[in-house]
Homo-oligomer: A and B are copies of this chain.
Amino acid sequence: MIVEPLHLSRCSINTATLGHREPIGVTIDRIAKAGFGGLAPWRHEVEAAGVSKIARQIRALELKVSGYCRSTYFPAPTREARLANIQSNVRALNDAAELGAECFVMVVGGLPEGNRDLPAARTQVQDGIGALLEAARKLGVRLAIEPLHPMYAGERSVINTLDQANALARELDPHNDGFLGIAVDVYHCWWDARLDALLSSTGKDNRIYAYHVSDWLVPTTDLLLDRGMMGDGVIDLQGFRQRVEHAGYAGMVEVEIFSRDNWWKRPPDEVLQTCAARLQSVC
Docked-complex contact A236 and B118, CB < 8 angstroms: yes
Tell me if A153 is interfacial: C-beta within 8 Å of chain B: yes
Query: Judging by beta carbons under 8 Å apart, are A155 and B223 in contact?
Result: no
B223 and A161 contact, CB distance less than 8 A: no
Does any Cβ of B come within 8 Å of A79's Cβ?
Answer: no
Do the beta carbons of B220 and A193 come within 8 Å of each other?
no
A residues 104-129 touching B (CB-CB < 8 Å): 110-111, 115-118, 122
Q: Is A192 an interface residue when CB atoms closer than 8 A count as contact?
A: yes
Chain B residues lying within 8 Å of A164, measured Cβ to Cβ, are 193
Q: Are B160 and A193 in touch, CB under 8 angstroms?
A: yes
Among A115, A160, A191, residue most surrounded by chain B Cβ atoms (within 10 Å)? A191
A117-B218 contact in complex given A150-B151, A160-B191, C-beta closer than 8 Å: no
Contact with B along A190-209 (1 / 0, CB 8 A): 11111000000000000000
* A216 within 8 Å of B (CB atoms): yes
Chain B residues with CB under 8 A of A221: 223
A219 touches B155 (CB 8 A): yes
> Does A234 lie at the interface of the complex (its beta carbon under 8 Å from any beta carbon of B)?
yes
Q: How many copies does the complex hold?
A: 2
Which DSSP category, helix, strand, loop or mixed, fits chain A's interface?
loop
Quick one: which of A190-249 are within 8 Å of B by CB?
A: 190-194, 216, 218-221, 223, 233-236, 239
Question: Of B110, B115, B149, B235, which contacts A151 at CB under 8 A?
Answer: B149
Nearest-Cβ distance from residue A253 to partner chain B, whole angstroms:
18
Q: Kindly identify which residue among B155, B161, B191 contacts A153, using a CB–CB cutoff of 8 Å.
A: B191
For residue A61, give the distance in angstroms from its CB to the closest CB of chain B: 35
A223 contacts which of B116, B191, B192, B223 (Cβ < 8 Å)? B223
Task: Check B220–A122 contact: CB distance below 8 A.
Answer: no
The reply to whether A154 and B216 contact each other, CB–CB distance below 8 Å, is yes
A 11-61 contacts with B by CB, 8 A = none
Cα A101 to Cα B154 with chains together (Å)? 34
List residues of A whose CB falls within 8 A of some B CB.
110-111, 115-118, 122, 149-151, 153-155, 160-161, 163-164, 190-194, 216, 218-221, 223, 233-236, 239
Task: Give 5 pairs: A residue, B residue, CB < 8 Å, sorted on A.
Answer: A118-B191, A118-B193, A118-B236, A150-B150, A223-B223
